[in-house]
Structure 1
Amino acid sequence: MATNENFFSGFQVNRSLLAGGVVLTGIGAALGAAGTVMVCAALATAGRDWVRKMDAPPTAIAHRALHGAKAASAAGWDAWRAEQTSPN
Structure 2
Amino acid sequence: MATNQNFFSGFQVNRSLLAGGAVLTGIGAMLGMAGAAMVCAALATAGRSWVRSMDMPPTKAMAQRALHEAKVASAAGWEAWRTEHASPN
Out of 19-28 and 62-71, give the one that drifted further.
Answer: 62-71
Question: Matched residue of 2:55: which SS?
Answer: coil
Q: Return the alpha-carbon distance in structure 1 between the equivalents of residues 14 and 26 of structure 2.
A: 19
Note the C-alpha offset of 1:64.
3.3
Note the C-alpha offset of 1:66.
2.6
Work out whether 1:69 is the aligned partner of 2:83: no
Note the C-alpha offset of 1:21.
0.1
**TM-score normalised according to structure 1 size:** 0.88
Aligned residues: 88
Structure 2, gaps ≥5 residues long: none
Report the equivalent of 1:58.
Answer: 58
**TM-score normalised according to structure 2 size:** 0.87
Q: Return the alpha-carbon distance in structure 1 between the equivalents of residues 12 and 57 of structure 2.
A: 64
Q: Give % identity.
A: 81
Note the C-alpha offset of 1:79.
1.6
User: 1:1-88 to 2 correspondence within 5 Å?
Assistant: 1-59=1-59, 60-88=61-89
